[in-house]
């Protein structure tokens, strides 16, 4: 069986620049408890949800096209492997789609069969497909 990384795409009536800048507004669409910066190459930031936390480093950044967050450390207390996200990456690819901009998010390493897949899939579906899209279209996301 081919194991697929979690991936989701949305499209909105925004420019690629607006989409790229909105991704960096992590506290506006994903985690209110946000420390650091998520704007440019080598930026480091941490998101926290109670006892859960994840630290990322931006390992690739092509303005208006692509940004990659590499997980450098994490603590996921609700899993047997509390560092399951370590070594995974979250990639955002931005492209024109007719009059809209398409943003595809891929969590590289989050594949069916890993312990957190179902719960993490549901979380990303909410935060990316709903909250991030709402930030783009209504200028107000719904962070946790």
SS (HEC) of 79-124 = CCCCCCCCCCEEEEEEEEECCEEEEEEEEECCCCCCCCHHHHHHHH
* 21 belongs to a structural domain: yes
- 52-62 vs 66-75, strand pairing mode: antiparallel
Angle at 71 between CA 67 and CA 74, to 5 degrees: 145
Domain count, the chain: 1
* 84 belongs to a structural domain: yes
Q: Give residue 3's pLDDT.
A: 67
Exposure string (b/e) for 3-40, b if CB count within 10 Å is 16 or more? eeebebebbbebebeebbebbbbbbbbbbeebeeebbe
* 47 belongs to a structural domain: yes
* 111 belongs to a structural domain: yes
* 110 belongs to a structural domain: yes
* 86 belongs to a structural domain: yes
CA distance 33 to 73: 16
* 132 belongs to a structural domain: yes
Q: Give residue 135's pLDDT.
A: 98
Domain that holds residue 53: 6-138
Checking if the pLDDT of 79 tops 90, the result is: yes
pLDDT tens string 9-62:
999 999 999 999 999 999 999 999 999 999 999 999 999 999 999 999 999 999
% of the chain surpassing 90 pLDDT: 97
Q: Is 128 helix (H, G, I), strand (E, B) or coil?
A: helix
CATH of the domain at 59: 3.30.530.20
Structure tokens at 79: 């899993």
* 98 belongs to a structural domain: yes
């Amino acid at each position: 069986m081919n194991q697929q990384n979690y991936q989701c795409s949305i499209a909105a009536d925004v420019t690629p620049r607006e989409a790229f800048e909105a991704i960096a507004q992590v506290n506006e669409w994903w985690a209110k408890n946000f420390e650091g910066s998520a704007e440019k190459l080598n930026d480091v930031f941490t998101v926290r949800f109670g006892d859960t936390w994840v630290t990322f480093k931006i390992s690739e950044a092509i303005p208006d096209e692509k940004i990659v967050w590499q997980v450098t450390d994490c603590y996921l207390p609700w899993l047997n492997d509390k560092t399951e996200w370590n070594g995974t990456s979250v990639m955002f690819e931005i492209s024109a789609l007719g009059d809209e901009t398409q943003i595809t998010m891929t969590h590289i390493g989050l594949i069916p069969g890993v312990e957190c897949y179902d719960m993490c899939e549901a979380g990303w579906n909410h935060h990316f497909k709903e909250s991030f899209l709402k930030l783009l279209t209504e200028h107000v996301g719904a962070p946790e």
